[in-house]
């Protein structure tokens, strides 16, 4: 789930075989505080993976209140957050390549 995504991203980044990583997922709010714990841990973990490895790790984990919001943000159209994360990954990989060279 979303809680485990940061570890996978960090381990992949540490291989040195990728220029960027895109973390995708969806967390939908329920009736317990679990939502807040998972979202905070995923957010912090993804940021930590990026900062500790120097590999761009894009945050494409949707944190939403309803299933409809997930559909709206992941379907075809201009609001697709996966598309935005992919574009950001390419832009960051190119920027860092320029800076490092």
Q: What is the pLDDT of residue 68?
A: 95
- Give the mean model confidence (pLDDT) for residues 94-98: 98
Cα(82)–Cα(100) distance, integer angstroms:
27
Residue 29 pLDDT > 90: yes
Q: Which candidate in 8, 11, 34, 51 is catalytic?
A: 34
Cβ-contact 5, 42 below 8 angstroms: yes
Q: What is the CATH number of the domain that holds 65?
A: 3.40.50.960
Q: Determine the structural domain holding residue 40 and report its residue range.
A: 5-100
Torsion of CA 33, 49, 90, 26, to 10 degrees: -20
> Count of CB atoms within 10 A of residue 72's CB?
15
Domains of the chain: total: 1
- Give the mean model confidence (pLDDT) for residues 1-19: 97
| pLDDT tier for residue 26 given thresholds of 50, 70 and 90 | very high
Query: Any idea which residue has 């995923």 for tokens?
Result: 42
pTM score > 0.85 for this model? yes
Largest CA distance in the chain: 50
Half-sphere exposure of 43 (CA within 13 A, CB side): 9
Among this protein's residues, is 34 annotated catalytic? yes
Q: What is the pLDDT of residue 78?
A: 85
Half-sphere exposure of 76 (CA within 13 A, CB side): 0
pLDDT in tens, 42-92: 999 999 999 999 999 999 999 999 999 999 999 898 889 999 999 999 999
Cα(25)–Cα(82) distance, integer angstroms:
9
Q: What is the pLDDT of residue 3?
A: 95
């Amino acid at each position: 789930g979303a809680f485990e995504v940061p570890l996978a991203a960090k381990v992949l980044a540490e291989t040195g075989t990728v220029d960027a990583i895109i973390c995708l997922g969806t967390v939908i709010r329920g009736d317990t505080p679990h939502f807040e714990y998972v979202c905070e841990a995923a957010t912090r973990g993804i940021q930590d993976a990026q900062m500790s490895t120097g590999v761009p790790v894009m945050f494409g984990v949707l944190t939403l209140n309803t299933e409809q919001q997930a559909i709206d943000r992941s379907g075809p159209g201009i609001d697709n957050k996966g598309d935005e994360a992919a574009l950001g990954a390419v832009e960051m990989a190119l920027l860092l390549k320029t800076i490092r060279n």
